[in-house]
Amino acid sequence: MRSLATATAALAYVALASIAIGFSDASFHKSVCPPYMDLQIHDEFIVTFTKYDNLRNLESSLDVLVASYPVPLSSSSSLHRRAIKINHDVPTDFVVWTLFDWSPLSVIHWLGLQPGVKSIVRNRRLHLTSLNTQPASPQEDDTMPTSATWNYMEAWDMAQLRAQNITGHGVKVAIFDTGLDPDSARRHFRHVDDIINWTDEPVLRDSDGHGSFVAGVVGSVHRACPGIAPDASLVSFRVFTTSSASYTSWLLDALNYAMYLGVDVLNFSFGGPDFHDAPFMDKIHECAASGIVVMSAVGNGGPQYGTLTNPADQIDVFGIGGLGSTPSTIAPFSARGQSLWEIATGYGRVKPDAVAPATFVKGLYPGGDKCRMMNGTSMAAPLATGMVALVLSQIPSIERKRFGHVGFVKGVFLQTARRLPSIWNATMRSTEAGNTWQHIYEQGAGSLDVNAALAALPLAMAAPTAVLLPSSLNLTDCPYMWPHCLQPLYHTRLPLTINITMFHPTALTSQLVGAPKWTPSSADSDILSIQTFPGSEMFWPYSGAIGVHIRVTRPVLRRMTVSGRLTLFISDSPPVELYIEVPVIPAPPPRQRVLWDQYRNLQYPSGYIPRDNLHQHTDPFDTQGDHAHTNFGDFFHRLVVQHKLYVEVLTTDYSCVDDLSVYGLLLVVDPEEPWFPTEVALVHAAMRSSDLSVFVIADWYSPTVLTSMSFWDANTLSTWLPVTGGANIPAINTLLAAFRIRLSHRAWSNPGIMYLSGSAIVDLPDLGFVMWANLTQDSTGPTGLSPRRIASFESVKSANNAAVPPNDSQKMAVAALVPLQGANAGRVVVYGDSSCVDSSIAASSDAKATCEGWIDGLIEYALRGKLPEGVEAVNNLHVREDVDHDAADIRAQTLLAKYSKVLGHAPACPNVAFG
């Protein structure tokens, strides 16, 4: 079942396209469709069975089960499955079932336990609001606008492919979208097998035009905007209504029918951030296992990292990113990786898989003879779909079952993709316009090359071999291998973990056979220890993830480069070699080493993790992972490049760290998880005797605000509250209690210093230092954020004993700097808000410069004891808050316990001794 509420404020599916034409590169990311759509709930359930049957038989089976329930029920089958009821002999595996309000809700749990029932989940109504943008002006000719510098149809020499009869003949392509205009289907396509309406509307028209455009990119024969595969057989699946609404059940019905028809390729140009949506994800896996190559746009959330949408982020889906206005640049709006599934305990996978044109893509204007241009990864996906159709058409029908699946097809395209140039500029930000890094989590294997894929096809079929992404781990290749290439390895460093994705050319299921073999290039290469950990015992369907852990086994006296080949033995495939090249240096001193606590972060969609910036109304959830290499990537980059620090990302609790004394700084950014008592003891011991400093970058926490963010969850039929605030302030206060430091249980802001919904320091001991700022308290309501007066606020006593008046704007401590006593003692640094280090949050250049200067000064103080400018000594700072902290702390633990890796659990390495 879905693990998160589907409410009006929740996130869902997005059409990954934009319409407007005539803007510059710098404005592309502003013109693509907004990334979210609203959700509305209907009182229906999807009852999934363990076997397929026709709908009437499954409904009868459900009726028998319901009749055996000891309490009479008022229920019925849904009327929202118009298409499947018309085609009643098409096999299905679920029934849409309505349970009326007066029926007992306990039947839901009971029904899920009955024999033959796989699951029961809420049927969601989805509204695709992002399709309501105005279309671009139609064009009657085939000229490109002056701001576009290339024509992908000419670059791919499509005329030559057509002359060779490489046109997609014999390949069936399904387009899941807003439909296909019937008039356009008759006049501008050769092979539209069917237009199937899966909605409850008795119409076929594509009122939005998005689906017609996407279909045209694949298979149009219009002179001015021809498709890639004009002889492919198209099936248009209309899964959104004229009001851009859909149901989960419509998508599942359509996917079942696609398998029933024997579709070869399926195109999604929409997606959503929820990778815990089990029924939908399971159906995508099933499609891939049945031999359908599922193509999906990765989204338009760029240039931010961690913005991939589902299903493009699934391992068995071909996730397509977007090129910009030239064939060698990535579109700024194209969503970036890594995938977020794995970051709670490891590292994400490389996504997008590859990129295709997404700027000035030409397609059909619905209901006429004209063409238009659109931008977005929605456009890149059908271009890639057309390429896949061309390649599949060249596989003999007798071999199609063996090779016509995502494992083989993706492998061929990844091996032949043209890597985009990666140009290093150390001072550039990851999200900066004109960024030239174009690393692997932005471009994947590179730009798809249909001609190279066609040329490689005969050999790939003659000698099928598993394909890896990335194909090598050359950490001297910078910036393509960013962020892994930023830092060399050294003895005592945490193992470097990189996720490798494997695509099998022939086997639906496969596995690693025996231990991989490491063959060093020289005698020095024995200093590396290479371990692999498969994501699961069995790889399925046609793909799998393999974690590679690289560790330096002994000290070195000089900088060197170590290389070798790791041979992986995969069932039903020849051995596969992974080239590894790693720079190794002598271990840096503790004052240059930072341990970044990633373990403390929780991510949506595991639970209701609220947004960090309460001023941001478009996104209710914390969706980008809060990882050192996603929305905190610019901060990580600055630590390494500007401060010349060596940052190690920890994904376990502290009990598994061999020796905290080798680090000069423990960095905790925006934590949601608490600490084990053992961890607190370990950290305090290292702080008092090993010169370890701790820098906590917090965020807001307010019981009042949390209560105002509640909503009714139709899945659990209960009111949902955020599991914690922007950060877990009660847990931070517990960690720092021994040093008499406490943060506020309210939310505070000052946009002028990029302090957006943070906490503030309300208790500090003697000998402490603070940075002051004027802050306004935040609150939320039905209309969003508003400042309000604080009636319970008494006064703030600073070093000169001056009282701060209780006005809307309060003088508050935003940073605390506390030196510990002792010859080998470290320091405690606290900053109340994470906005400054979060690249997903926008602010003025002046505000960002101010707060980044403060953060830089706090880093220097934590590591070297140098007080930054603007700090003041305080004498026993105390701010009284009218908050029941004990009650707030208990509430925080109660809500968090369901999702926590700490509460109710034991440390991962409990036998670590500490003093």
Question: By C-alpha distance, which of 199, 165, 205 is closest to 185?
Answer: 205
Residue that is written with structure tokens 């781990």 in the block: 473
Over residues 745-763, mean pLDDT: 93
Rounded Cα–Cα distance for residues 669 and 667 (Å): 6
Whole-number percent of the chain with pLDDT over 90: 62
SS3 192: strand
pLDDT score of 626 more than 90 = no
177 given a catalytic annotation: yes
- Residue-level pLDDT at 72: 78
Rounded Cα–Cα distance for residues 73 and 185 (Å): 46
Question: How confident is residue 429, by pLDDT bands cut at 50, 70 and 90?
Answer: confident
Over residues 758-778, mean pLDDT: 92
- Residue-level pLDDT at 722: 79
SS3 362: strand
> Does 479 sit behind a cis peptide bond, omega within 30 degrees of 0 on the bond before it?
yes
Which DSSP symbol is given to 871? -
Distances from the Cα of 175 to the Cα of 235, 245, 252, angstroms: 6, 17, 14
Q: Which of 378, 702, 749, 900 is catalytic?
A: 378
Q: Are 34 and 130 in contact (CB under 8 A)?
A: yes
Q: Mean pLDDT of all residues in the chain? A: 85
- Residue-level pLDDT at 135: 38
- Residue-level pLDDT at 796: 32
- Residue-level pLDDT at 582: 97
Question: By C-alpha distance, which of 381, 903, 349, 842 is closest to 629?
Answer: 349
- Residue-level pLDDT at 873: 94
Q: Are 438 and 480 in contact (CB under 8 A)?
A: yes
Q: Are 759 and 727 in contact (CB under 8 A)?
A: yes
Over residues 709-728, mean pLDDT: 68
Distances from the Cα of 534 to the Cα of 241, 351, 498, 548, 680, angstroms: 42, 18, 12, 9, 32
Distances from the Cα of 891 to the Cα of 16, 724, 732, angstroms: 39, 9, 15
Residue that is written with structure tokens 């020289």 in the block: 522
Among 40-49, 103-112, 250-259, which stretch is predicted with the lowest mean pLDDT? 40-49
Residue 824: what are its φ and ψ, rounded to 5°?
-115, 30
Q: Which pair of tokens denotes residue 312? A: 């493009």
pLDDT score of 149 more than 60 = no
pLDDT score of 717 more than 90 = no
pLDDT score of 307 more than 50 = yes
- Residue-level pLDDT at 290: 97
Instruction: State the helix-helix crossing angle for 729-736 and 677-689, rounded to 10 degrees.
Output: 50
Question: How confident is residue 618, by pLDDT bands cut at 50, 70 and 90?
Answer: low
Quickly list DSSP for 485-535.
GGS-B-TTPPPEEEEEEEE-SS-SSB-B-S--EEEESSGGGGGEEEEEEES
SS3 336: coil
Distances from the Cα of 166 to the Cα of 136, 292, 389, angstroms: 31, 20, 9
Rounded Cα–Cα distance for residues 38 and 125 (Å): 9
- Residue-level pLDDT at 319: 98
- Residue-level pLDDT at 829: 98
pLDDT score of 465 more than 50 = yes
Over residues 670-696, mean pLDDT: 96
Question: How confident is residue 205, by pLDDT bands cut at 50, 70 and 90?
Answer: confident
Quickly list DSSP for 623-692.
-STT-TTTTTHHHHHHHHHTS--EEEEE-S-GGG-S-GGG-SEEEEES--S---HHHHHHHHHHHHHS--
Rounded Cα–Cα distance for residues 806 and 665 (Å): 36
SS3 302: coil
- Residue-level pLDDT at 34: 29
Question: How confident is residue 570, by pLDDT bands cut at 50, 70 and 90?
Answer: very high
Per residue in 364-392, pLDDT tens? 987 778 899 999 999 999 999 999 999 99
Q: Which pair of tokens denotes residue 500? A: 């490798």
pLDDT score of 577 more than 80 = yes
Rounded Cα–Cα distance for residues 863 and 827 (Å): 8
Per residue in 237-291, pLDDT tens? 999 888 878 888 899 999 999 999 999 999 999 877 666 667 889 999 999 999 9
Rounded Cα–Cα distance for residues 93 and 484 (Å): 44
Domains of the chain: 38-127 (3.30.70), 149-450 (3.40.50.200), 465-587 (2.60.40.10), 591-896 (no CATH)
Per residue in 790-821, pLDDT tens? 222 222 333 333 333 334 789 999 999 999 99
Rounded Cα–Cα distance for residues 326 and 357 (Å): 9
Is the model more confident about 710 or about 287?
A: 287
- Residue-level pLDDT at 911: 57
Give the 3-state secondary structure of 140-151.
CCCCCCCCCCCC
Question: By C-alpha distance, which of 361, 360, 366, 407 is closest to 386?
Answer: 361
Question: By C-alpha distance, which of 293, 288, 287, 244 is closest to 265?
Answer: 293
Q: Are 350 and 318 in contact (CB under 8 A)?
A: no
Rounded Cα–Cα distance for residues 594 and 751 (Å): 29
Is the model more confident about 561 or about 271?
A: 561
pLDDT score of 912 more than 50 = no
Question: By C-alpha distance, which of 629, 766, 759 is closest to 697?
Answer: 759
Among 207-216, 474-483, 611-620, 729-738, which stretch is predicted with the lowest mean pLDDT? 611-620
Q: Are 298 and 332 in contact (CB under 8 A)?
A: no
Q: Which of 188, 210, 629, 637 is catalytic?
A: 210
- Sequence-distant (≥ 6) Cβ neighbours of residue 248 within 8 angstroms: 46, 121, 123, 124, 126, 279, 280
pLDDT score of 913 more than 70 = no
Over residues 148-155, mean pLDDT: 78
Question: How confident is residue 889, by pLDDT bands cut at 50, 70 and 90?
Answer: low
- Sequence-distant (≥ 6) Cβ neighbours of residue 805 within 8 angstroms: 795
Question: By C-alpha distance, which of 498, 368, 385 is closest to 439?
Answer: 498
Question: By C-alpha distance, which of 670, 666, 667, 668 is closest to 624?
Answer: 670
Per residue in 70-92, pLDDT tens? 887 777 776 556 666 566 678 99
155-184 burial string, b = 16+ CB within 10 Å, else e? ebebeebeeeebbbbbbbbbbbbbbbbbeb
Q: Are 14 and 270 in contact (CB under 8 A)?
A: yes
Per residue in 501-544, pLDDT tens? 999 999 999 999 999 999 999 877 689 999 999 989 999 999 99
Q: Which pair of tokens denotes residue 6? A: 């589907």
Work out the angle at residue 67's Cα, subtended by the Cα atoms of residues 61 and 70, and round it to the nearest 5 degrees.
Answer: 140
CB atoms within 10 A of CB 506: 17
183 given a catalytic annotation: no
Among 308-312, 412-416, 605-609, 685-689, which stretch is predicted with the lowest mean pLDDT? 605-609
Per residue in 313-367, pLDDT tens? 999 999 999 999 999 999 999 999 999 878 777 899 999 999 999 999 999 987 7
Per residue in 633-643, pLDDT tens? 999 999 999 99
- Residue-level pLDDT at 506: 98
Q: Which pair of tokens denotes residue 854? A: 């403060």
Whole-number percent of the chain with pLDDT over 70: 82
Residue length of the chain: 915
